[in-house]
Amino acid sequence: MLFKRLVPAVAALLLLAGCSRSVDFEIDNPTDEPVTLSIDAQPHLIPPHTAVPISLEPGQYRLQSGKIGSVRMVVYAGGIGGLINPTLSEYVIVTEQYVTSKTNTGNLASKVELNDVVIDGPYVKATGLFIPLRWDVGLLGELPTTVVSNSPDTSSDYRTKLFNVPGFFEYLEAEDELKEAFGPDGYQTPKATVEYTAATLPELPAAFEAKGKPMRELYAQYLAASDAGEQKRLKNASLKLWQDFVATRSALNGKIPVADDVKATAFSTQFFELWTQPAAILPES
């Protein structure tokens, strides 16, 4: 079933921010019942349909709630923050386009699926206990009615905002159509479990293992690091190892089976992506 929203836009962009001592998050409860999230045994009561801000210093924390149980989370120095989602609900990142009187030819289509309903528009679904920041406006903010563009010669500009599903439906302003699309029971939050950050890097072909071994060690050390200075030191060391691995792949290009190159790509991608994360969800050791 298709439900159309005629707002052209582009996909949400990952935002980068500079280093700071504490990292800002929002904790959200989009349900009809209060939720208690404990962080290192300190309870935070989140009323129904409410989001609250919180700042955490780099380090490891234990999160507990009825939905997620007991989970370890590490916050990294210089991280961009994001959303802590103790109800494991679904979220939607909306891209809003702001146009001038000039003709715009952007119109890059997208869509989001909630339950079995597909809603066309500039939307991206986000899920997980922790959702890294990749929006301009969080749950606690509002999209501006107008923006001042840094590129006055262009005909449009964009801003992104995070919505929980109830807020997204309000944004769509289509109550009757939504009721028809989702049926008599309405939208239902899917069952979900906590997804953990991978504890180890994937296997490698023998030709790459000499370069891969120190990367495995650094990856494990970074996951366990709770001191901000140690986190920054390990992150700085990661770039040289990743560059050396990429150089090895380049030297072996065309000399190894395609399947081996695919494994090397998966290895380097997972290694690289860890250093871009502001936080990680850790399995019990």
∠ CA 183-187-191, rounded to 5°: 130
Reported as a single tens digit per residue, the pLDDT across 140-186 is: 999 988 887 766 666 678 899 999 999 999 999 888 888 899 999 89
Reported as a single tens digit per residue, the pLDDT across 69-102 is: 999 999 999 999 999 999 999 999 999 888 776 5
Reported as a single tens digit per residue, the pLDDT across 237-283 is: 999 999 999 999 889 888 899 999 999 999 999 999 999 999 999 98
Q: 285 pLDDT band (50/70/90 cuts)?
A: low
Task: Tally the C-alpha atoms within 13 A of residue 3's C-alpha that lie toward its C-beta.
Answer: 21
- For residue 77, what are its two tokens? 């120095």
How much is the average pLDDT of 124-128? 96
In terms of Cα–Cα distance, which of 53, 165, 173, 159 is closest to 117?
165
